[in-house]
Structure formats: C-alpha cells, structure tokens
Structure 1
C-alpha cells in the first residue's frame, strides 16, 4: 500500500509496479491485484500473471484478477465470463462468494470505460451475455431478496460510518481465513524474508485454516463488513506461559480494510470475547520492526511488557519479537 501511495503522491509508478507485480507473481493476489487495477495500462507488463490468476481456485481472487485484467488491457472478453460465473441470482449473502463485487465490476465494464487510457463505448456483446442473470438477481419479486448494493471503487478503504460485525469462525470459513491471513502476512511480514521463502509462506497461510478450524483448540473470530465480506481475523486461547491469561496468537486484517476501522472493531470484539471466557488479562507477541502493528496495539490499550524473544519462521534467520499485554475491558 505504501508503494501505491508513493505513486499517487509522486506520479512515478516504478516502485508500485515492482511491489504489486511481485505480490501477484508470489500468489498474494488479493493484496497486489487492486493496486495493479488502479495502475491500469501502466501495469501492462503484468497482464500475463494477472490473467493466469483468473483461473485461481479462490473466487475472490478470480474476481479481482478479472477486473484488474480489464483495467490493465481494456479487453473485456476474457474478464466478463469470469465475473459472470460469480453472478448467482440465488445468492443468499454468503461472504465467501464475491457476488456483489462481480456485479459491481460487470456494471463498470458495461459502462463507458478506458482502453489504454482513452474512452471506449460499452461492449454490447458482453452486456448482453450478462443481462439474464443480472435481471433475475435484481427482480424485486424474488422472496428473500438481498439486493446487490452498488459500491464505488475504493470504498473498502474509506473511514466513516461503516459498521462491522464480529462472529465466531465456522468450519466453512477456511478459505476466508486463508485469504485474510495470506494477504495481511504478505503486506506486513513478507518484506522481511527472501522472495522464495516469502512466497512459500504466503501459500502455506492461504491453505492451513481448514485444518486449524477442525482442531478446535482455539477461539477464532472474524469481523465482517456491512456487505457480509469478512476482512479481519483473530485467534486466541489460554496462554501456555502465563497461567490464567489469554494469548492472542494471530491478529490480521486484509490490506483492503486498512484504515476502515475493521481492525479496531475486531480488537474490541476479541477483548470482550476473551473476557466472557473468563480471562482478565491478555498478551501477544509481534515483530519488533512492524511499527504499524505496534502503533495499533498501543492505541488499543496494550503496553509493552519489556519481554523480547527471537522467533525463527523457518528460514534459519530468527527475528526479534516484543510482547504486549493489557487487561480485558471491565477489569481493573
């Protein structure tokens, strides 16, 4: 995100193209794709990897990739079928299905767009193909209708009156958890490692959560936006080193949600949940050099305990972690 901001401030896309392109090539699609989409034709060199991600097993990744490919190339033909495949008129609002996102992007492609930076007319063929499913999805006579509310590009990052819901993760949330973990870890942690090791770490974090959910040895929470999409996750359980306390083992928010208030909402929900579970205090570890994370924990009421440790993520180069602690809400 910093590289994207550098482009927006300076007008020089080189850093953003390098960072976002590397993210897409390493498999962190949801992190790099929205920024490449914003770069548009400037990201033409990355069109190939983006197009390959349109065949990803993840529905959200396919959707992001299809939109980014159209924004980069101006060619709707490969993108529209991918987006159209996600349009289910019988959608019940399941957050792991990007129906609303696909509909929004189809609407954008169907309106006057840009091809190489120049305005082009709508593609009647693409719009005609999508019309039956879109018409059925918008039929007000359908019982139990959940409208596909319009969302303008970029509102994921807006700070305002957005509301969030905290809930327990269910067994079917493995892909959602993996998407959040992989994207957040790629943005915050991957820069500390060699690219090959980072790519393997991202892939591992994307696929490990079905097994973690099945173990049922921790409490896993998700925070959802108003449109139902989960954007942040936390994991806690009884501490193995501090009797009577909870340890927050994982706390990640998708880069798409940074600055939206999602992480703050999740932290409040996590602290309330662990208090309800009988824990008066909580502690956690974070990398010493992830300054954004450390500022967040301080703002959330955590203080440094003074303890440090080194942790080897598996590449033989241990990194320093610092410990934070705080009381649960309502505890003295």
Structure 2
C-alpha cells in the first residue's frame, strides 16, 4: 500500500474522530471497560483534535492518506504539558507522542511506522531532547511496536485521574 503523509487540516478532524473511536474499540477491548468504549463519540473526539490541529508549533498532527486520498491514520505530537510525568525534573525538555491511531483495516501496512517516524522527526526538529508516550500496560502489541522503534519502558504502571486503565510511560532519546 502506498501512503502520503501530510499535516492535518481542520477538514480532517471528523475522519480523525472516527479513526480514534475505531482504534480504541479495536485495541482496547478487554483493557478498557466496554461501557466506556461503547460510549465514545467520534464528534467529541473530532473537536479535541481540531484544537490540536489549530495549536501553534511545536504541536503537530500528521495524517496518512491511502491511494484514494482517504485519511486512514494519524498521530499527534507536541510539548509535554506535565514535565514531571514526562520524566523531566528540571526543565521541560520532553516532547510527547500523544496519539497514534490507525483505521483497524490498515494495521500492518506500514502507515503506523510512517506516522511514528514523522512525529518523532518533528519533535527532534523542534529541539526536544527526549520523547515520551503512555501505553496501556496491558497493550502488548503497542509495546512491541514502540520497542521495535527504540522506545523503552520508563517507569512503573500509573493510573492518572480519569484514565481508563493503568499505563506505563515509555521514552526515547531524540
């Protein structure tokens, strides 16, 4: 499959909302409570992603379009909003890979790796020395994906306020 990567625009937000909900339901069934997954609303997700799309640098949202020009995956990266949770104790030097979701039909086609690489390259170009992300502790497939790309578990499982399940912070030097 051939992928085109680009920065997201506001018109992509509704499709991004659909991908997020489909991705959550595919990846997190058995990790996150079914009632939470079933209650996800693509329109609500789309509104949050519109904020990220419109945010100033170094925040960025990248999308992967298939051969027909349809958005099939996306990632969101930016500065850490909580340096302590990002592992920074003196200065906010960490960027964050906030989201990386694919339409479940295209998992394994290379789109996820391309989106990952674009997001990490953006964080490095923005001057971050380190990147972090959070993975649900029970999500072994995501852990394998990130480990294959040089990330490592960086801390004990943690369940923040409002989080659906325990997660582990992962890190990567840029």
- Bin for the TM-score computed over the shorter chain: 0.7 to 0.9
Shift of 1:211: 4.4
1:276 aligns with 125
Counterpart-to-counterpart distance in 2, 1:308 and 1:272: 27
1:212 aligns with 49
Counterpart-to-counterpart distance in 1, 2:162 and 2:105: 25
- Equivalent pairs counted in the alignment come to 162
Displaced runs of 4+ in structure 1, greater than 4 A? none
1:180 aligns with 19
Larger RCO (CA under 8 A, 6+ residues apart): 2
Matched ranges for 1:290-301 at <5 A:
290-301=139-150
1:326 aligns with 172
Tell whether 2:112 aligns with 1:263: yes
More strand by share: 2
Q: Which of 233, 242, 260 lines up with 2:74 in the alignment?
A: 233
Q: Deviations over 1:53-109 (max 9, x none)?
A: xxxxxxxxxxxxxxxxxxxxxxxxxxxxxxxxxxxxxxxxxxxxxxxxxxxxxxxxx
Alignment RMSD, CA only?
1.9
Structure 1 counterpart SS, 2:127: coil
Counterpart-to-counterpart distance in 1, 2:105 and 2:44: 20
More helix by share: 1
Shift of 1:196: 2.8
The 1:212/1:259 distance shift into structure 2, 3 A limit, reads closer
Matched ranges for 1:29-48 at <5 A:
none
Are 1:175 and 1:209, in contact at CA under 8 Å, matched by a contact in 2? Answer: yes
Counterpart-to-counterpart distance in 1, 2:22 and 2:157: 26
The 1:309/1:222 distance shift into structure 2, 3 A limit, reads same
Structure of higher CA gyration radius: 1
The 1:324/1:194 distance shift into structure 2, 3 A limit, reads closer
Query: Taking structure 2 as the reference length, what is the TM-score of the superposition?
Result: 0.83
Unpaired segments ≥5 residues, structure 2: none
Counterpart-to-counterpart distance in 1, 2:96 and 2:103: 21
Unpaired segments ≥5 residues, structure 1: 1-161
Are 1:171 and 1:210, in contact at CA under 8 Å, matched by a contact in 2? Answer: no
Are 1:232 and 1:253, in contact at CA under 8 Å, matched by a contact in 2? Answer: yes
Query: Taking structure 1 as the reference length, what is the TM-score of the superposition?
Result: 0.45
